[in-house]
C-alpha cells in the first residue's frame, strides 16, 4: 500500500472529481477539526491539516513517514489530508469498514484533487 500521494494540479482549470463525491464534516470532540469524507461507500475519512508554515509542514510529514501514516499533499500547497480511516457511514464515529487497496489509491488522489478545488469554499464560510 502507498504511504502518501503527492499531486501537482497547479495548472488544472477545473476539477475532474464531481463536487458531490466528497464533503467536509466539521467536528469538535474537545478540539475542532475538519474531516473530508467520501460521500458513498467506502467512506474514507481524511483530517484536513493546514500547517502555519513550511517548518510545521515538514515536521508533520516527517512524523507521518516515521509512524507509517497515510496522507496526501501536493508540491505547491501547505495543506495535508491525513487518512484517519474508513467507516460504514459518512460520520467518523460509525463502525470501521475495510477498503480495497486499489480503490483506496484512486480515492485518496481524488480526495486531494477535490479538496484543492472545493475544500477552500467551506473554509471561506468560517
Every domain of the chain and the residues it spans: 2-32+40-125
Nearest Cα to 45, choosing from 81, 4, 69?
81
Residue 5 is predicted with a pLDDT of: 53
Q: Please tell me the distance from the alpha carbon of residue 25 to that of residue 125, in angstroms, as a whole number.
A: 13
Residue 77 is predicted with a pLDDT of: 85
Residue in the structure block whose three cell numbers are 502555519: 52
DSSP state of 10: T
Is 46 in contact with 81 (CB distance < 8 Å)?
yes
| Residues of the chain under the 50 pLDDT cut | 1, 124-126
pTM (predicted TM-score): 0.83
Pairing of strands 32-38, 71-74: unpaired
Residue 3 is predicted with a pLDDT of: 52
A 10 A CB-CB count for 85 gives 14
Residue in the structure block whose three cell numbers are 477545473: 14
DSSP labels, 36-103: EEESSSSEEEEEEE--SSHHHHHHHHHHHHHTT--EEEETT-S-EEEEEEEESSSSTTS-B----HHH
Burial label, 100 (beta-carbon count in 10 A; 0-12, 13-18, 19+): exposed
Amino acid at each position: 500500500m502507498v504511504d502518501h500521494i503527492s499531486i501537482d494540479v497547479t495548472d488544472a482549470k477545473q476539477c475532474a472529481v464531481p463536487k458531490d463525491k466528497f464533503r467536509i464534516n466539521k467536528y469538535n470532540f474537545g478540539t475542532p477539526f475538519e474531516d473530508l469524507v467520501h460521500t458513498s461507500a467506502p467512506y474514507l475519512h481524511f483530517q484536513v491539516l493546514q500547517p502555519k508554515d513550511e517548518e510545521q509542514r515538514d515536521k508533520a510529514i516527517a512524523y507521518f513517514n516515521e509512524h507509517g501514516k497515510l496522507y496526501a499533499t501536493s508540491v505547491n500547497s501547505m495543506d495535508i489530508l491525513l487518512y484517519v480511516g474508513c467507516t460504514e457511514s459518512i460520520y467518523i464515529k460509525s463502525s470501521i469498514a475495510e477498503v480495497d487497496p486499489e480503490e483506496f489509491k484512486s480515492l485518496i488522489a481524488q480526495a486531494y484533487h477535490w479538496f484543492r478545488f472545493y475544500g477552500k469554499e467551506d473554509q471561506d464560510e468560517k
